[in-house]
Amino acid sequence: MKGLKRRLLAGETLSGCWLNLGSSITAEIVGLAGFDWVLIDLEHGAGEPKDLLHQLQALAHTKASAIVRVESAARERIHRVLDLGPEGIMCPRIQNVQEARAAVQGMHYPPSGFRGVAKMVRATGFGKNFDNYRANTKEDILGIIQIETLEALTDLEAIAGLDGVDVLFIGPADLSMALGIYGQLDHPLFIEALQKTVQAAQKAGKATGILIFDPKDFAKYQQMGIQLIACGSDATFVANGAAELAKTLNQMKNTSMPK
């Protein structure tokens, strides 16, 4: 473990990005780039669960902590992912405190939760470190609940107050869609929802996170009290880099052609 949860709870602002290509190569490249954390996306990403192990192995020697967004908050899905050794789990589209409680209980062993026990897994050093791993999961595993629906907005304080919920993470696309203002992240309704989320998290001594689309907005969200801030993805980096280079070469090709 690289201390992601401890750093966050100590008040640091931590920058990250998405990994949605399912590639261990791009995971390693991005992990070496200097981000504090990366999120492997099993909800919308191109990768399959079988690709997760290779991405985690590729990230192991980088400074970036690995978080995994699961496509389902089912207990079996969460503990299978945790057995591979990420530092955090993000659960999307959590509607209410009951769903949030079930999600975080799936992240922890009894008596705090109902995660299944398996010693011979990557997270425990294949059995060599099980006792230490089990004793420290409450301090090491970051539990992230996504706030993306109108129902979740009505249950913010109860969700934030749960033991095991460490971060309320705004999903800007889904939440703005739910509010009827898709993509309008400066709209008063979205700003109000964002502020309510931050306030609920801070009241409970928890952190808030968000995915942003323009790095110029980083300071704005940090000043709101948001600590876990992501921008971009491996797919975005490849697409933007390829498009920019192609544009440059085409411009050069057109200007250098003989008259």
Q: Which tens digits make up the pLDDT trace of 74-127?
A: 888 999 999 999 999 999 999 999 999 999 999 999 999 999 999 999 999 999
Q: Which tens digits make up the pLDDT trace of 224-235?
A: 999 999 999 999
Percent above pLDDT 90 for the chain: 93
pLDDT level of residue 10 (50, 70, 90 thresholds): very high
**pLDDT value at position 67?**
98
Active site residues per annotation: 44
**pLDDT value at position 254?**
79
Q: Count how many domains the chain has.
A: 1
| CATH of residue 165 | 3.20.20.60
By residue range, what is the domain housing residue 201? 4-256
**pLDDT value at position 259?**
59
> Taking a C-beta distance cutoff of 8 angstroms, is the pair 18, 232 a contact?
yes
pLDDT, mean of residues 122-137? 96
Looking at 52-61, 134-143, 221-230, 246-255, which range is the least confident one?
A: 246-255
Please say if the pLDDT value at position 73 is more than 90.
Answer: no
**pLDDT value at position 255?**
80
